[in-house]
Amino acid sequence: MANNILDKISGAISIGIAGHVRPDGDCVGSCMAMFLYLGKRYPEAKIDVYLEMVPEVFHYIKGIDSVHTSYETDKQYDVFIALDCGDLERLGDAGTLYVNAKHTINIDHHISNTKFADVNYVLPDASSTCETLYTIFEQEEIDKHIAAALYTGIVHDTGVFKHSNTSAQTMKIAGDLLSHDIPFSKIIDESFYQKTYVQNQLLGRCLTESILVLDGKCIVSTISQKTMEFYGARPKDIDGIIDQLRVTKGVEVALLLHETGTQQYKVSMRSNNQVDVSKIAVYYGGGGHVKAAGVTMQGTAYDVINNITKMIYQQLQELS
């Protein structure tokens, strides 16, 4: 089955490739791996890859400079390939190009995938779209550059082989990719762990100013608009701080309050075990998953913390 997925491509003069809006590592990695692979297999074809934007951290991927970030919507491709997209909507502005194409292919790993193409290849047990692609590509065509792109996607979607989607198969594939002599330490550090100086300063402040409540079961930190302005920080710069708060020993729930207006806070919540933070987020009009949720709330920081910790306390009481 896997080997036929790309059959429609042979003979295609023009091929379009796109991933989802707000591209992450797996999206960028899979689009670039496909771009490089098809470029080798079908040198006569004109291949375009589209992404809404390209995060700077993926600069090391070969061909990244040829990504199109604007869309000529009147173009018609012989084949258009959607990668790492659960549904057509996720393609964003590339959706028009996709719909206009003569043939469509959808390759993904989301269990919720709506199979919206002529040819669909979805592996819900795969860690990432990059892992899925590995099962399609001809082994002898995988070179160092394709391997680096695939490895990037696997690393990002597994949180560096940590999340529960990491399987024995994932590790085997990652191991095989290493045999292509890719700079794996550099890929992991530069695209995943590296922070800017400002990001580290904000992280440091949040950790220093954090407080423990509920007998050490809950950790809370707050970032004011003033602090954000002081560091010249963008909202993106506080990504990941909540995860560092969460791994504090003894903590069950971590809360990060980001002041986004007068008496308005964007609250991120993470739970380690039993507490369902999505219940709390939904109660206040937000949403998310059992262990990761968010909500925007009005009031002073004190009010917000009080209201949320009360609900965490209730859940902890019910569980004990």
Kindly list the residues in this chain that would bind Mn ion in the complex (CB under 5 A). Answer: 26, 84, 128-129, 157
Cα–Cα dist 45/214, whole Å: 62
The amino acid that residue 246 corresponds to is R
Toward Mn ion, which CB reaches closer, 162 or 226?
162
Which residue lies nearest Mn ion, judged by its C-beta?
26
* Count of residues making up the chain: 320
Cβ neighbours, 10 Å, residue 238: 21
Identify the helix (H) or strand (E) that includes residue 227: helix 225-231
How near is the Cβ of 110 to Mn ion at its closest, in Å? 7
Q: Which is nearer to Mn ion, 16 or 29 (CB)?
A: 29
Minimum Å gap between C-beta 20 and Mn ion is: 8
Q: How far is the CB of 165 from Mn ion (least distance, A)?
A: 9
State in angstroms the smallest separation of the CB of 153 from Mn ion. 7
Task: Assign residue 22 a region (left: φ > 0; alpha: ψ between -120 and 50; beta: otherwise).
Answer: left
Q: Shortest approach of Mn ion to residue 157 CB, angstroms? A: 5
Output 128 or 152, the one with its CB closest to Mn ion.
Answer: 128
Given the complex with Mn ion, which of 35 and 265 has the nearer CB atom? 35
Measured CA to CA in angstroms, residue 205 lies from 157, 199, 209, 306 at distances of 28, 10, 6, 22
Neighbours of 211 (CB within 10 A): 11
Nearer to Mn ion, 128 or 221 (CB): 128
